Amino acid sequence: MRALVQRVTEASVTVDGDVIGRTGPGLMILVCAMQGDQDAAADKLAARVAKLRIFRDDEGRMNRSLLDTGGSALVVSQFTLAADTRTGNRPGFSSAAAPEDGRRLYERFAESLRDLGVHVETGSFGADMAVSLVNDGPVTIWLDSADRT
């Protein structure tokens, strides 16, 4: 699985003019399941995100995690994180998980974060969403479950 993690002061996701998810200080997380991903990948990625030390401590250093700060998360499905841009000008998305697997793993990721004690709100899988955020720092981190055992 892949995740693009952004430290935010606030973020929201809107579908058909209605805000369906939001977070205050915490993380905006775009998530994509890849072909071959299993539940364990969603669980491990959620744990990495929750423990990622990208929040400021009392000395201003990035030394605290989402769990340390008690922040919340907005999790939005984003299959375009699977984009293959190695050839041509049009990205390919064939390495993304099939929609039914993608939905299951996206929901599993969000639930794994909740199980760790993080307040999580979500977007709507497969919907046309408008995402708004105020990036704090800015801090934006790319994670891929295939990069770490």
Q: At residue 94, what are phi and psi to the nearest 5 degrees?
A: -65, -15
Q: Is 6 a catalytic residue?
A: no
**Catalytic residue from among 14, 23, 78, 122:** 78
CA 7 to chain centre: 11
109, 114, 117, 119 alpha-carbon torsion, rounded to 10°: 110
**Catalytic residue from among 9, 80, 93, 140:** 80
**Catalytic residue from among 14, 23, 55, 79:** 79
Q: Is 78 a catalytic residue?
A: yes
> What single-letter DSSP state applies at residue 43?
H
Q: Is 79 a catalytic residue?
A: yes
Report, as residue numbers or ranges, the catalytic residues: 78-80
